[in-house]
């Protein structure tokens, strides 16, 4: 049975691609269980898809060579709303934020457009030397 009453919290730091992606998906699995949702729960599928896009970008572009700072990740669910935050020390990405869905032939460049359309809110800010991402969706 679904439960939107109990808050759910998950925090992690990671540096490697495989490790980071595993942790992101594991956190959503934890939320799925905590809220009594099944594997076909559509709002959570859409959120996980957006999280995979932003998380994949952060882990591939947000950790330039020589970076020691790991990616900070937090997932919070309360009152029916899930919010994830990711912080990385990569280059600023303002110029990519408005990117539209590319043509069918394109092999890349869909991630941000997908995440925007899957979430209620996709926030980005450059804060000093870090990128802060905020993903919000009502489940």
Partner 1 sequence: MALDVQTRQADNGVTVVAPTGRLDVAGAPALKDAISEAVKNGPQRVVIDMEGVSFVDSTGLGSVIAVLKQLRSSQGELRLAAPNQQVRVVLELTTLDRVFPYYATVEEALTGF
The residue ranges that bind partner 1 (CB under 8 A) are: 17-18, 21-22, 25, 40, 42, 45-46, 48-49, 52-53, 56, 59-60, 101, 104-111, 114, 117-118
CB 47, min distance to partner 1, A: 11
**Long-range contacts (CB closer than 8 Å, 24 or more residues apart) made by 38-42:** 41/139
CB 127, min distance to partner 1, A: 25
CB atoms within 10 A of CB 77: 23
Nearer to partner 1, 103 or 128 (CB): 103
CB 99, min distance to partner 1, A: 11
Give yes or no for a contact between 59 and 20, defined as CB atoms under 8 angstroms apart.
yes
List the one residue out of 68, 88, 95, 91 whose CA is nearest residue 133: 88
Nearer to partner 1, 68 or 105 (CB): 105
CB 25, min distance to partner 1, A: 7
């Amino acid at each position: 049975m679904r439960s939107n009453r109990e808050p759910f919290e998950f925090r992690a730091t990671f540096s490697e691609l495989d490790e980071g992606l595993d942790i992101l998906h594991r956190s959503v699995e934890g939320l799925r269980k905590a809220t009594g949702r099944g594997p076909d729960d559509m709002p959570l599928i859409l959120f996980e898809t957006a999280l995979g896009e932003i998380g994949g970008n952060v882990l591939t572009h947000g950790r330039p060579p020589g970076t020691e700072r790991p990616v900070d990740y937090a997932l919070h669910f309360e009152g029916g709303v899930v919010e994830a935050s990711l912080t990385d020390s990569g280059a600023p990405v303002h110029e990519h934020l408005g990117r539209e869905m590319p043509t069918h032939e394109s092999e890349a460049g869909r991630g941000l457009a997908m995440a925007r359309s899957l979430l209620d809110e996709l926030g980005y800010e450059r804060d000093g030397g870090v990128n802060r991402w905020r993903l919000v969706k009502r489940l």
